[in-house]
Amino acid sequence: MNKIDQHRAFDGWQQRYTHASSSCNCDMTFAVYLPPQADRGPVPVVYWLSGLTCTDANFVEKAGAQRIAAGLGLALVAPDTSPRGADVADDDAYDLGQGAGFYVNATQAPWAQHYRMYDYVSDELPRLLAENFSAELDLSHEALAGHSMGGHGALVLALRQPERYRAVAAFAPICAPTEVPWGEKAFGTYLGDDRDSWREYDATALLERSAGDVPPMRIEQGEADGFLAEQLSPERFAVTADQSHAPLMLNRRAGYDHSYFFIASFMDEQLAFLAEYLEP
């Protein structure tokens, strides 16, 4: 790994690294916040997955999460949202290609060579953390959080590996991507025409077959979100959770939109929720 940035923050350290990724076949970047408690021993880990057009830096610079994480004793790990580089396939649209990995393992050319974000987040990045931060991070206590496309990714990882992640929190997630324009475009491009394969990355479809055996989930949804009606489908997810007797808290927030102003407003509640389930 190569450390490319470091700042003292709330008596902890905000750091940024690059490394050669075997999953994505390119250099990848991630950020990690180590709270002051990590100086004394391993602390629980929350993975933050960001949304369309974002890098790891958006969350680090805009969410105001470090102060809260320092108080709760949580490490925050924020990977980039896609592979990047001159040799990595891309698209002129904001919702496809670099910055829009959708946390899937692509199967279609030319995307399959690099776009394996599910494997990167669920397997390669945790192994890298275990090798390099064994004294600071307790990887037996993991939780997930994310926003929009990243909220989709967080829910999917938690639902596919419920025995691993202690809890999941999401801001304005894409809850049923196989049924909305963002998901149909990305999945059709990355995964091909077999819509059954898409359901492996659809949180609502995964919840339908879960029998309620899932980690505790919490969603924040702004009611003034311009993407709510066409792209997000939280009510569809909530109905499925109720039918499955799955543990879901859906908070509808009047007046809030899709921005990081919304995220920063409720970050303290989301991290406190995760911390409750990350206690040893």
User: Which residues participate in catalysis according to the annotation?
Assistant: 148, 225, 258
In degrees and rounded to multiples of 5, residue 181 shows phi and psi of: -60, -45
CA atoms within 13 A on the CB side of 175: 28
Q: For residue 139, how far is the Cα from the chain centroid?
A: 16
The closest alpha carbon to 262, from 233, 215, 213, 221, belongs to 221
Longest alpha-carbon distance in the chain: 51
- Which residues, 6 or more positions from 269, have their beta carbon under 8 angstroms from its beta carbon? 220
Strand-pairing partners, residue 249, are 218
Strand segments (E) across the chain? 2-9, 12-21, 26-34, 43-49, 75-79, 137-147, 165-171, 217-222, 248-253
* Contact present, 103 and 117 (Cβ < 8 Å): yes
The closest alpha carbon to 117, from 63, 148, 154, belongs to 154
* Contact present, 114 and 101 (Cβ < 8 Å): no
- Which residues, 6 or more positions from 72, have their beta carbon under 8 angstroms from its beta carbon? 35, 271, 272, 275
Q: For residue 130, how far is the Cα from the chain centroid?
A: 19
Q: Please give the structure tokens belonging to residue 45.
A: 């880990």
* Contact present, 25 and 39 (Cβ < 8 Å): no
